[in-house]
């Protein structure tokens, strides 16, 4: 069972997860640093989280781990963090786009095998996970979870039996994997990071005193006072050990023109203060707003953003158009994905639990409302309605991404085509459905400019993916 049909209270996109790893060469306990790193990555996954640590000086590798369902500060209460002793460790926050939302599927995964132990945290989705799982099953593998991360862990363990080092095993395992994967792996004496050759998901390297860090985003480095070193290159394997420091293997890297970063990291998923592959997320969103103002201008009195990811694009629209920027929404910051989820039929009313409109800001005004995306449209029509109920004369919606026309198979829960409001509908059709006075999307031709020309994946907009999509049902709703 895969996680695309679960009910959600808001028509938002979700990122699969965030990963974090640290190795302190001085021998200090690292669990608290992992905790705060995960806290900074909480926006990437709010269903489950976990930490696994080990002591590299211990005679036998023993992994201490704890994981649970919920937010980081809900799972790690009391002395949980202090009880995790060790100078090397990995952590994970998860939102399930593949595999059920259960404690069994929470990460990091910890494996004990003939060569010792492995703890693994994974961000992304494999498109050949079912095939690999079946192959492993016929060689005697018994699976404890329904996530593709376990398949990756098994392949690494199997390749380790015929490799001279764990990093060699990781490289050999990667040759079997198709799709998106940013991995942080802890072995008894090494911390390893690997990014798929297309660079779908981010991964960066940091340093604090004599400790090296791997993290999904630079904001996690800032939170623990670490210095950004560089991004892990697409296809690169980095190995961190006390004996050799940081060692890079670029054997599996592709030419840059074949890479395909997920553009939604910049439009929506990443925290605004992060940098990815040298690009400021904040600057990307400002650019998106400026492009919308250039391509979809309209006379209005105020530009507002739908919190949080719409705010920077709204500021960009304001800067470019000269129309004042304002705050029209008050967001209840205590409503996360752990909020009691209403049935689909009640989804619209639940928006008001998350957002309230400031009547005095919008009453009698022509409003330009910026949001990052429209998926099913169930939230957009309600927010437009809320603005009009609060007295807005006109509501012009602008979207800082192109229309979704295809599903995603790489860790973003863009659903099947039949569920997408833009599928088989014109922009005018969508405008009527959501009740806006006008509607404009960012053009697909503008996307590369958001990231200064970096190669990106545009599959959810045009159906052209860097990796061929699966030919079997991996999500319960596959459409060719």
What's the pLDDT score for residue 135? Answer: 87
β-strand partners of 360: none
| CB contact at 8 A, 325 and 290 | no
- Residue 412 has a pLDDT of 80
pTM: 0.91
- In this predicted structure, what is the pLDDT of residue 11? 59
* 274 in Cβ contact with 219 (< 8 Å): yes
Radius of gyration of the chain (CA): 22
- Say if strands 279-280 and 204-208 run parallel, antiparallel, or are unpaired: unpaired
Q: What is the pLDDT of residue 74?
A: 94
Partnered with residue 164 across adjacent β-strands are none
Return the pLDDT at 145. 84
pLDDT digits (tens, 9 = 90+) for 218-270: 999 999 999 999 999 999 999 999 999 999 999 999 999 999 999 999 999 99
The DSSP secondary structure of 423-453, one letter per residue, reads: TT--HHHHHHHHT-SEEEE--GGGHHHHTTT
Task: Give me the domains of the chain, ranges plus CATH numbers.
Answer: 17-259 (3.60.20.10), 275-462 (3.40.50.2020)
Question: Would you list the DSSP string of 324-364?
Answer: PB---EEE-TT--TTSPPPPGGGHHHHHHHHEEE-HHHHTT
Residue 59, H or E segment: none
Which residues are designated catalytic? 17
Q: Tell whether omega for the bond before 308 is within 30 degrees of 0, i.e. cis.
A: yes
Helices 427-434 & 380-389 angle (0-180, nearest 10):
50
> Per residue in 66-123, pLDDT tens?
999 999 999 999 999 999 999 999 999 998 654 566 788 899 999 988 888 999 999 9
413, pLDDT greater than 80: no
pLDDT, tens only, 291-306: 999 999 999 999 999 9
CA dist., res. 308 & res. 64, Å (int): 36
Residue 468 is given by DSSP the state P
Q: What is the mean pLDDT of residues 429-434?
A: 97
**Residues in the chain, total:** 480
């Amino acid at each position: 069972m895969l996680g695309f049909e679960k009910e959600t209270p808001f028509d938002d996109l979700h990122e699969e997860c965030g990963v974090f790893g640290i190795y302190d060469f001085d021998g200090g306990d690292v669990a608290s640093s992992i905790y705060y790193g995960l806290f900074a990555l909480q926006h990437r996954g709010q269903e489950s989280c976990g930490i696994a640590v080990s002591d590299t000086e211990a005679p036998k590798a023993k992994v201490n781990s704890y994981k649970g369902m919920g937010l980081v500060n809900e799972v790690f209460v009391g002395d949980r963090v202090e009880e995790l002793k060790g100078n090397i460790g990995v952590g994970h926050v998860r939102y399930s786009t593949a595999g059920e939302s259960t404690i069994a599927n929470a990460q990091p995964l910890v494996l004990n095998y003939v060569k010792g132990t492995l703890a693994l945290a994974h961000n992304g989705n494999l498109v050949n996970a079912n095939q690999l799982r079946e192959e492993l099953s016929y060689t005697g593998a018994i699976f404890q979870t329904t996530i593709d991360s376990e398949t990756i862990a098994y392949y690494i363990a199997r390749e380790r039996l015929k490799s001279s080092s764990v990093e060699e095993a990781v490289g050999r395992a990667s040759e079997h994997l198709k799709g998106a994967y940013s991995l942080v792996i802890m072995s008894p004496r090494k911390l390893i990071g690997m990014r798929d050759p297309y660079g779908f998901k981010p991964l960066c390297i940091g340093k604090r005193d004599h400790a090296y860090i791997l993290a999904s985003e630079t904001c996690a480095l800032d939170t623990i006072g670490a210095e950004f070193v560089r991004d892990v290159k697409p296809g690169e394997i980095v190995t961190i050990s006390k004996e050799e420091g940081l060692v890079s293997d670029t054997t599996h890297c592709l030419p840059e023109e074949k890479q395909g970063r997920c553009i939604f990291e910049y439009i929506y998923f990443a925290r605004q203060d992060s940098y990815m592959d040298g690009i400021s997320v904040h600057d990307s969103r400002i650019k998106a707003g400026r492009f919308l103002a250039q391509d979809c201008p309209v006379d209005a009195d105020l530009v507002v953003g739908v919190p949080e990811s719409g705010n920077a694009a709204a500021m960009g629209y304001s800067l470019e158009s000269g129309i004042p920027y304002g705050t029209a929404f008050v967001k209840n910051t205590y409503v996360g994905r752990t909020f009691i989820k209403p049935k689909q039929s009640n989804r619209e009313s639940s928006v008001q639990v998350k957002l309230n409109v400031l009547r005095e800001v919008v009453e009698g005004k022509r409003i330009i409302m910026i949001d990052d995306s429209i998926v099913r449209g169930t939230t957009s029509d309600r927010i437009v309605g809320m603005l009009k109920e609060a007295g807005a004369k006109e509501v012009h919606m602008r979207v800082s991404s192109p229309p979704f026309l295809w599903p995603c198979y790489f860790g973003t829960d863009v659903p099947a085509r039949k569920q997408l409001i833009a599928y088989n509908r014109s922009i005018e059709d969508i405008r009527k459905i959501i009740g806006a006075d006008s509607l404009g999307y960012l053009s697909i031709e503008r996307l590369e400019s958001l990231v200064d020309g970096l190669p990106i994946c545009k599959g959810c907009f045009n159906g052209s993916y860097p990796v061929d999509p699966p030919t079997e049902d991996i999500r319960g709703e596959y459409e060719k």
